[in-house]
Structures are given as structure tokens and as C-alpha cells.
Amino acid sequence: MPPGVETFVDRWLGPQQQDVAAAVGDFALRRADGLWAYQLAVVVDDADQGVTDVVRGADLLGSTARQRVLGRLLGLAPPRVMHVPLIVDPATGLKLSKQNGAPALDCSQPLRMLQQAWSGLGFAPLAAATPEAFLQAATAQWAQRFGMRHATVPAGPKAD
């Protein structure tokens, strides 16, 4: 790993820096089973798909500097990054995930679930009567907060 400090601006957490060589050192690019390791695979995959913005959990912030160094060594433009807070189980402090045995979300009340997630990200509550209206309002607020000009809500599935 080449020496030097990797700096970047996380759109949620602000300026970040890490000396990958000092903090991590050399790391595997290929696993023992012969498959490409996550750090390299995600850099190449994102570049291949034309990914320009990555939004993921704050637990993956530590991977970002490594991925940026690998991308630079491959001559790739780095995507903009945003690491959002994790939703955790108040009793255990563990992130809510299948990996940690969290129960499935109750999707019988989608508007309630969206409002709870929005609140968990630190946003003020939104008044909306339907999930669709909520997503439109949330997308507009997100775009305004983070200066995104082309934020859109994906269309739902088309009826046959």
C-alpha cells in the first residue's frame, strides 16, 4: 500500500482522512478461495456500473479510504460517499440486521416504517397521507439538504 493520507468529504459526516498504509497496511485483494476480495470487487463493480454516489451505513466508513486508494491506482474516478447512521437495537447496541438476528420489519404499515426510518436519520417528521406522498416529500427534503439536483423516487412496478 502506498504511503500517504487519503482525504475525502463524506456528505453526512464531513471531512475524513486515513493513512491507509499506517492504519491498515497491505490487505488481501484475492481471498484464499480464489475469489476477489470485497475491497477490490466493489471498486471495480461500481466503476463498471458508472456509480457516482454511494450511500451506505456508517459501519462501512473504514473501507472508504482503501477503496479510494485502489480506485486511484486503477485510474478510476472516486464516487461521492455518504455514510448514514445505523439503526441499532436499544437493548444490545447491535445494528438491526439479519446478520444480528433482528426481526423482519412489519410491512403492514409502510408509512409508519418510512416515518420511523426518516426520524432515525435525524430528519423532522413529514406530514404525508400515503407512502408515495411521503417518498416525494422526503426526496425533495433530502435533495435540498444535500444539494442533489437530480434526486428522484424510482417508479413502482408496472402492471402487466
Per-residue confidence (pLDDT) for residue 1, from 0 to 100 = 86
pLDDT in the model for residue 88: 86
Name the average pLDDT for the chain.
90
| Residue-range domains of the chain with CATH | 5-84 (3.40.50.620), 98-146 (no CATH)
Mean pLDDT confidence for 61-68 = 97
Contacts of 24 (CB under 8 A, 6+ apart): 1, 18, 66
| Interval 113-124: pLDDT, tens | 999 999 988 899
In the block, cell 482525504 appears at 7
Mean pLDDT for the stretch of residues 148-154: 57
Question: Are the C-beta atoms of 8 and 81 separated by less than 8 Å?
Answer: yes
pLDDT tops 90 at residue 13 = yes
- Residue 26 has phi, psi (to 5 degrees) of -70, 145
Q: What is the pLDDT of residues 82-102, one digit of tens each?
A: 999 998 888 888 988 889 888
Average pLDDT over residues 46-55: 95
CA atoms of 35 and 44, how far apart (whole Å): 14
65/142: higher pLDDT? 65
Prediction pTM value: 0.80
| Residue 68: other Cβ atoms inside 10 A | 21
77 phi, psi to nearest 5 deg: -75, 135
